[in-house]
Amino acid sequence: MNHSPRALGRRALALLEEWEANGTKLVTTPEIRAAMGPDTTEAAAKRMTYQLRHKGFLETVRRGVYAVQPLAWMGNKAVDAAASIAALSNRGVAYYVGFDTAAGHYGWNPESYGSVTVAIPSGSQVRMRDVEGTRVRAVRVPQRTFSLGIHTETWRGQVVPMSGRELTVVDAVSRVKLVGGYPGCLRLLARARADAKADAHEVAQLALGRSSTRLLKRLGWLTEHAGWKWSEPDVALLRSGWSRNNRVTLADRRAGPPGHWDPRWELIINVPDDQLKPEAGIR
């Protein structure tokens, strides 16, 4: 809820100015008390927290966690989705910002400020709430996905765990619907190819760790279709994870035409040609 701005006391103003100068985006109840000085009582810290919340300069993200609102907003701006998601770390929730949102952060996908995609472990009971008009989409992924390929990134002013460039590529191929279908995935892969910070060998290693023949074959075919040039050692690495006698299709077997056989990746391409053009998926 927004409130009309009222005059701030000197102590409250000093706190806000200090947080703004330090780039502080989130504060907890103990941090507010500590910032007020060593002689501050718990009751005094609670009064200060209430005052700043009541006047709109702190917005509750989770219990005991607050997003600091810039003084320039004069208490009239609600908490944003990035602050809400960053607060998950304070609750000990395992997650990472990924898929289309991570791709947008790396410049491979149009950034969408109306939705955010977050990966959480399979079986997780965490409920992701939409925040001030932003849809927060929770995607459940296997627990092993959290072991490699996740980095800390500053995203929309918040420090969050995010899939690295290589994991973002693997995730996009594994869930093409989350990145705009095949046209969106191919656009993403074409831009990733031109990104000097993306390491193709690490992409192959991460994909191999998923133990999925279908993922490995689809990754090889889709990346090459988007202009990637794999080294022979990396092609051999991808092929080393194939199971024998596995007849794999690019899309689900029930989707699209019967398709044609690609001997290099031993894959049936059953997606219509008009969906396999990167430029067709621009949003």
Domain encompassing residue 44: 10-79
What per-residue confidence (pLDDT) applies to 3? Answer: 38
- Kindly report the CATH number assigned to the domain that includes residue 55: 1.10.10
Do 267 and 205 fall into the same domain?
yes
Do 163 and 275 fall into the same domain?
yes
The set of long-range contacts for 34-43, using a CB threshold of 8 Å and a minimum separation of 24, is: 36/11
Do 213 and 122 fall into the same domain?
yes
The segment with the largest mean pLDDT, out of 49-58, 229-238, 251-260, is 229-238
Confidence of residue 106 (pLDDT cuts 50, 70, 90): very high
Asked whether residue 248 is domain-assigned, the answer is yes
Distance CA 231, CA 155 (A): 33
Distance CA 165, CA 179 (A): 14
Asked whether residue 97 is domain-assigned, the answer is yes
The pTM (predicted TM-score) of the whole model is 0.72
Query: How many domains, in total, are found in the chain?
Result: 2
Asked whether residue 63 is domain-assigned, the answer is yes
User: Above pLDDT 70, what percent of the chain?
Assistant: 89
- Condensed to tens digits (0 to 9), the pLDDT of residues 219-250 reads 999 999 999 999 999 999 999 999 987 789 99
Distance CA 237, CA 227 (A): 19
> What average pLDDT does the chain have?
87
Confidence of residue 115 (pLDDT cuts 50, 70, 90): confident
- Condensed to tens digits (0 to 9), the pLDDT of residues 133-175 reads 688 899 999 999 998 999 999 998 889 999 999 999 999 999 9
| The pair of three-digit structure tokens given for residue 91, joined into one six-digit string | 């609750």
Do 103 and 30 fall into the same domain?
no
